[in-house]
Structure 1
Amino acid sequence: MKHDAVTYVAGHAGLIGSAVLRRLERDGYRTPITRRRSELDLQNSKQVSEFFEEVHPEYVILAAGRVGGIMENQTFPADFMDENVAIQLNVLKAARKAGVRRLILFGSSCMYPKECSQPMAEDALLSGKPEPTSLPYAISKLVGTYQCLAYNKQDHDTRFIPVIPNSAYGPHDNYDPKSAHVLSALMARFHQAKVSGAESVVLWGSGSPRREFVHADDIADACVHLLRQDEVAVEVPINIGVGQDVSIKELAELIAGIVGYRGGLTWDRTKPDGAPRKLLDSARIQSLGWRPKVTLAEGIADTYRWYVDHVGKETSQVCEARA
């Protein structure tokens, strides 16, 4: 990409979208084009088509979509399917018609089978059933991923690049304990418990499942790296991981220590654990010269500083008011 190239980032206010914009700004890109949901409804095919016809973006990073943890997937399965499938197909169809040079679409590690050899290589997709607790989201992301691959095959091109980052975290994440993913939900709960002086926090499951976490800045860096490649083989998606995982129990203890919560942790084993392990095989993107830079401890500390500055103060004020 040249510095005068047009780059379109959808969902720029969220976790990955904001990280992509930080990355582009740091590299001196002058013309990123963004739209908020209030300005462009990606579920509206007419609006999406008109946008692409007007702007004709060269590079697209589709960072918009509905995401959430186990509780959200179980409570709103139809919404996950409706929103994500509509957004992906509208944007992909319009981007193809507009002749974009390169498009990145985000899949999810939950697309892999529940019982999958570890680390999970890209060709393991569809070799088994995904974890039931995240099935609605997994199916919706599989639709977008394989639509990209279908376009590439039919058009004899490599313009559409589906990537599979493992569990993303960082600034601008969703920190609502009822709808957030595990890392951000734990951070919010431990912060609230510290502020309120709670003696213990009850957590879902056994704490034994293992997960791999990738800072949003590393994901953004990987995306820019892929957009700069002259040619990328995309017969299958491309994993984006750090090569290491931790148990949920280890993660909880690490976050509690960084937050400064000194109370007890109780595990509610009547609640679902999800997939036993999700570690990605990221050999393909590493063969292209990309490596992650942010360690888990550094990333959580950085994220918590942002959380305290932008979200945690509200929690502190609520707790003070109730005292």
Structure 2
Amino acid sequence: MPKTFITGHRGMVGSALVREAARRGGHDVLTAGRDQLDLLDQQAVFAYLAEQKPDIVIVAAAKVGGIHANATYPADFIYENLGIASNLIEGSRRAGVPRVLFLGSSCIYPKLAPQPMPEDCLLTSSLETTNEAYAIAKIAGLKMCQHYRAQHGVLYHSAMPTNLYGPGDNYHPENSHVIPALIRRFHEAKESGAESVTIWGTGTPRREFLHVDDLASACFHLLGLADPPDWVNVGVGDDVTILELARLVAATTGFTGEILTDPTKPDGTPRKLLDVSKIKGTGWEPAIGFEDGLAGAYRDFLASLETGAARL
């Protein structure tokens, strides 16, 4: 039974990975919270990996946020995500860890990439400026895995998920991603009896969304492959406009008022749809429909409000 170190296990992605490992069985899961291990402390990370000697390391820990957070704290995003990647990847090599799965993001691809975005469009043109710092850190981690695999013969590889949502998301009003932000805003608007909700931008950009439990399924699928791609996109292969998304979330929460747009706010990348033919070619498919996934995410939000566990 491989000892599998899942970093960031208290976050949305990490907790989904822990759930998936338990569902599948066959993994001795190792976790360490920030109170036990600071992933930005290189000496501490190297020592921890040398002592624990995991067979697999999944790099799910990251500093993440939406457009506002990325634009406001770019130095924090590049420093922390570069540090997490380099400490865990080099620390794993030094500790003799044979396999690392590094999780990135679809924002690694150029702002004006072909749609849907294939893996080989990486680094072919400029990035979206609002999340450039985060993207560069994730590209660095991906490239570290690729080059470590080539030079050291270790099986270090990466998965690049599209926009994620699901249980355990961050509902902060300014620093969250679009789905949890909309869930909170429409819920609060319904509760207060507001007549309208205004969303950022024109509502025309298109986005693809993957349930975090589907990502976790894809990750363990990739870990079961003897010769996975150096990096592979993980998504559903379909997208919606932000305005369409807002209407779906409004319906999910029961908000019946008007939805307005604010074109003075940034839209971000016009479209971000992943080409997922490569991972589907390995035999993996997403299993959770979008409307069902949104309903589950809203139920989780309501339950977390009741228990006081919501990340607000």
TM-score when normalising by structure 1? 0.93
In 2: Cα distance, 1:230 partner to 1:132 partner: 37
- Tell me by how many angstroms 1:192 deviates: 1.1
Q: Which amino acid aligns with 1:262?
A: T
Matched, 1:276 2:270: yes
- Tell me by how many angstroms 1:79 deviates: 0.4
Q: Which runs of 5+ in 1 are unaligned?
A: 316-323
Return the match for 1:28 from 14, 25, 30. 25
For this pair of structures, how many residues does the alignment match? 311
SS at match of 1:138: helix
SS at match of 1:35: coil
- Aligned twin of 2:11: 14
- Aligned twin of 1:83: 80
Distance 1:314 1:256, change over 3 A: farther
Deviation string 1:11-64 (CA, Å, 9 cap, x unpaired) is 001111011111111112452000111110000001101100110000111110
- Tell me by how many angstroms 1:233 deviates: 3.2
Matched, 1:208 2:204: yes
Return the match for 1:255 from 211, 233, 249. 249
Return the match for 1:238 from 222, 232, 235. 232
Structure 1 stretches of 4+ with a deviation exceeding 4 A read 312-315
Matched, 1:165 2:161: yes
Matched, 1:199 2:168: no
In 1: Cα distance, 2:306 partner to 2:244 partner: 23
Q: Is the 8 A contact 1:177 1:186 kept in 2?
A: no
Q: Is the 8 A contact 1:113 1:125 kept in 2?
A: yes
- Tell me by how many angstroms 1:311 deviates: 2.8
In 1: Cα distance, 2:59 partner to 2:27 partner: 19
- The 5 Å alignment of 1:40-189 reads 40-157=37-154, 159-189=155-185
Q: Is the 8 A contact 1:174 1:184 kept in 2?
A: yes
SS at match of 1:105: strand
After superposition, the CA RMSD in angstroms is: 1.6
Q: Which amino acid aligns with 1:173?
A: D
Q: Is the 8 A contact 2:108 2:135 kept in 1?
A: yes
In 2: Cα distance, 1:64 partner to 1:312 partner: 27
SS at match of 2:190: helix
Return the match for 1:303 from 294, 297, 300. 297
SS at match of 1:149: helix
Q: Which amino acid aligns with 2:304?
A: H
In 2: Cα distance, 1:233 partner to 1:71 partner: 33
- Aligned twin of 1:320: none
Q: Which amino acid aligns with 2:280?
A: Q
In 1: Cα distance, 2:81 partner to 2:229 partner: 25
Q: Is the 8 A contact 1:191 1:312 kept in 2?
A: no
Q: Which runs of 5+ in 2 are unaligned?
A: none
- Tell me by how many angstroms 1:309 deviates: 0.3
Alignment identity in percent? 45
- Tell me by how many angstroms 1:133 deviates: 1.0
In 1: Cα distance, 2:132 partner to 2:62 partner: 16
- Tell me by how many angstroms 1:312 deviates: 6.4
